[in-house]
Structure 1
Amino acid sequence: MILPGSSALFILVRNAQPEKVLAELTDVKGKVLRTSLSPEQEKKLQEALADSILPSQHS
Structure 2
Amino acid sequence: MVARSFCLAITIEESLIGTSFLNWSGIGTGGTATLDIVFLGQPASAMRVACIALMVAGIVGWKLV
Q: What TM-score do the two structures reach when normalised by structure 1?
A: 0.35
Give the greater-gyration-radius structure (CA): 2
